[in-house]
Structure formats: C-alpha cells, structure tokens
Structure 1
Amino acid sequence: MTFLVIALGVVVGAVMGLVGAGGGIISVPALVGLVGVPVADAMTASLVMAIASASTAVVPRLRGGVDWPVAAAVSAAGIPAALVGTAVNTLLPQPLLLIGFGALMLIAGVRMLRPIPDNASRGERHPRWLIHAVLIGLGVGMLTGLLGVGGGFVIVPALTLLLRLPMKLAIGTSLVVTVANSLAGAAAHASIGGIDIPLTVAFTVPAMIASLLGARLAGKLPGKGLQIGFAVLVLVIAVVTLVVTIIPLT
C-alpha cells in the first residue's frame, strides 16, 4: 500500500506542478478508491499535501506575483468557512461526500476544457472587489472544509473572472489562499479524526518533489495541451468515482 500511496503522491504532485491546481480533486478519490483509505484520512492527507505543495510553489512569487490585499480578504473569509465546512462534513455519510466530489470534478473538468480569459486589467481594481473577494473566500473555504480540497481550480477562474486579476497574479494569489484555507481545514479535520502520519508523509513528500519537477517541465510544454490533458484526467476520475459510488447504492 505504501508504494501505491507514494506513486499517487508523485502523480498528484506532477499535476499540481504542471497546471498549478487540481491536486485535491484527484488525491481524495484516488486515495479512497485505489488505496482504500477512509475518506476522513484521505481529506486530511490531501490538505496537508496542498499546504506543502502550494507553499513551495508560492515562494518564487512572493515578490510581485501575489495581490496581497485580495489574498488577505479571500483568506479572511475562507478560514472560518473552512471550519464550518469541516463541521458539516462530519454530519454527512461517506457516499454523499464522494458523490459531491464527483459532481464537483465534472464541473471542474468541463470548466478546464474552456480557456480562462485573462481579462485583466491594466492594474485597475474591480469597483466591488472586496465584496467579490469575500464571496469567493466563503465559497472556496466551504469546499476546503467539506471536501478536503485546496480549491485552486476554483480560485484561479474566480479571481480572473470576478476580480479581473491578470493570470499570473491570480495563480500566485490562489496559492496563498490555498495555504491559508488548507491550514484551517487540515487542523479542523485532524482535531476531529486525528491524522494518519505515515500515510500523510508517504503521500506529501513525493508530491512536493514531483510538483517542483513538474513546475520546471511546465515551462517547456504547451499550456493548452496541459490544460486539456488535465481536464480529461479529471473527467475520467469523476466518472469512475460516481459509478463506483452510486452502483452499490442502487
């Protein structure tokens, strides 16, 4: 089982490094479906992995690559929402969580097949940027706590479409928010159900290494091809997750 967890860490880390998001929506169903890890342990491990990988990826972007006011506003709303999402998570049965995960992955996969426009701006802030930032934070924070995902695949499109951030700023800002929300979500999940340390270490360390290598490789590959490949992978996992979860219920 350890070898399979390490292999999954490599795959998830490589995906995060290549496309800058999406680790959580792959890691949780993969750990549950392929390794047989309980959903609660898979979510905690996924959130720890998101903290480590996003922290590594944001370091080169700390100067000039993050919109700090937006990151602060989204995180301030997202942290308490992540705690609420974790509390709701404990009240829901595992099959319902997996069905919700599958549905979310379908939406994310379809969204990734469409190009995300860089509407961005010439440095102008959206006039209602603070309201939009808080709403984004509340939504992504709930997802983080409820489903154990960092939410980068949601944050980046939201920041570009609703706040008019340039893509580079949106990615860096998303990474900061992912770290903040995942810290809150991981702490809440661990306090409720504990943390499987061997599983988390075996999954997180190779994911960090693979994300660094993937980030270097990403600059040499066509962005559109990476985006489409990621979208197809997410859609395939979504369909498998939904089928495997729903068939036993019928």
Structure 2
Amino acid sequence: MSELVLALVAGGTVGLALGALGGGGSVLAVPALIYLLGFTPAAATTASLLIVVATSLTALYGHARAGNVRWRAGALFAAAGLLPAAAAGAFAVRLPQPLLTAAFAAVAAVAAVGMLRPAQDRPEASQSARPARATGAGAGLGALTGLLGVGGGFLAVPALVTVLAFEMQAAIGTSLLVISVNSLASLATRGATTAGVDWAVIAPFTGAAILGAWDGKRLAAAVSGTLLRRTFAVVLLAVAAFMLADALV
C-alpha cells in the first residue's frame, strides 16, 4: 500500500476518533506515523501535534456552532496546562526514543482502561474540590501534551465530566478547546523540530483527519457512546501492547 493511501486511511481514522469522542486521535496518530509511515518517535510526536491542532480546531468549530463548548470553564482548564505543555515539549526532544515509545504505550493503556470502566464506577468530585482538581487535571494534561504529542482529550473528557459535572456533549466540545490550546503551546517550543516534518505525508494525513472529524461528529449522534468508547478502548489496548513490546525489544 502506498504511503499516500496509508496517510489518508490513518488520517481519516484519527479525525473520526476526535470528532466522535472529543479526543483519542493523537493516541492513534503517533503509532500510525511511527509504524505505518516510518517516522521516528520524536518526529511523530511533533507531527501529531500539527495534525491534532488542525483537526481539533475544525471539530471545535462544529461543536461550537451546536452550543457544545463551555468557553470560560474550558479556557481556565486549558490555561492551567499552558506552562506544563511548553516545558514538557522542550524536554521531550532530549529523551531517548525507546523511553518515549514506552511512555506513550503506558498512557494509551491507561486511557483504554479508563474508557472500559462503567460510568457509575467513576468517582464524582465534591463542589468544593472541583477548582483544585480542575487545575491539577489541566496541568497534567498539558504536561502529557508537551511530552508525548497527545492532545489529552481522552483524559480531558472524563475529567470534565467528573470534575466539572459537564454533560457528555459539552465535555466533548470543551475538550476540543483544551486540546487545541495545549497542542499550540507545545508546538511553540518545538519550532526547530517542525522544519524536518515530511509535509508530503502530513498534508494528506491532516486533510483526511479534518474530513473524518466531521464524519465523527455525525457518528457520535447516531451510535451509542458506550459502543464507541469500548471499540476505541480495544484498539488502544492492542496498540499499547504492540508499542510496549517494540520498546522493550
């Protein structure tokens, strides 16, 4: 299969995940870039941020038009992650490639397990604990974005539901705002590394992801959210196991 076809298929899948679930696209983008398109882990995390920024902003526009974005709460949540995202982004380029791969696999596995947990098993935060927990969650998501090139939406959505008591559609829409801000902050510290990105691959990948995001939004309205999460979680577990095995060899 040609590189262009692989980029289009992978991009469409990433966009579908972002549009339908409000996150998870970058958790698929990084392994696709490494194992299907031959990027190094460091180059893949930078390229993933470029893809996620463009796709998230597109999906954000659609959710904003539908009234699913809580701008003030989302901005505060994202602001807590700005400095951690920038600092972690600068640090990530100095880490060994196998360590980045193993860390990414661990995060993907945690995300998958979280998606498989029934909603009633997720602890609710008290009203008084929400501001502190929201700040901590926002900072943690920012650090993950900078370090591993993930937007953090797969963690932002459950955090917004449990910490800020958002309904699911509002959590999905608002998470796209958080993803966009964190990814832009991390990219700002990776300016030098973006020069080596293969735009012949990234451009079609991003274009397909943007189109997939619109389809994902429609899919979310037509298919059970539980089925979407469980299907995505199984894929994530398989990806995590493969990446961890590769890092340890």
Query: What TM-score comes out, normalization by structure 1 length?
Result: 0.89
Question: How far, CA to CA, are the matches of 1:43 and 1:69 in structure 2?
Answer: 29
Secondary structure (helix, strand or coil) at the match of 2:190 reads helix
RMSD of aligned alpha carbons:
2.2
Deviations 1:11-34 (A, max 9, x none): 212222232320111110121122
Other-structure match for 1:215: 217
Percent identical among aligned pairs is: 40
Decide whether the 8 Å contact of 2:21 with 2:172 is kept in 1. Answer: no
Distance 2:129 2:22 in 1: 27
Aligned residues: 244
Which residue in the other structure is 2:50 paired with?
Answer: 48
Give the Cα–Cα distance (whole angstroms) in 2 for the partners of residues 111 and 157 of structure 1: 8
Post-superposition shift, 1:195? 4.7
Determine the C-alpha separation between the residues in 1 that align with 2:177 and 2:209: 18
| 1:192 Cα deviation after fit | 4.2
Within the alignment, does 1:35 sit opposite 2:33 as a pair? no
- State the Cα distance separating 1:130 from its structure 2 match: 2.9
Cα distance, 1:135 vs structure 2: 1.0
Distance in structure 1 (CA, Å) of the matches to 2:106 and 2:121: 26
Aligned-residue offset at 1:202? 2.1
Residue in 2 that maps onto 1:149: 150
The reply to whether residue 71 of structure 1 matches residue 74 of structure 2 is yes
2:84 to 78, 81, 86: 81
2:113 to 110, 114, 122: 110
Q: Tell me the equivalent position of 1:166.
A: 167
Report the CA distance shift for 1:186/1:228 in structure 2 as closer, same or farther (over 3 A). Answer: same
1:24-62 CA deviation, whole Å, 9 max, x = no partner? 111101211222112222112211221122112222333
Q: Determine the C-alpha separation between the residues in 2 that align with 1:215 and 1:157.
A: 18
Gaps spanning 5+ residues in structure 2: where?
A: none
1: CA distance, partners of 2:201 / 2:190:
15
Q: 1:72 to 1:36 in 2, by over 3 A?
A: same
Residue number in structure 2 paired with 1:96 = 99
The aligned residue for residue 189 of structure 2 is 188
Q: Shift of the alpha carbon at 1:193?
A: 5.1
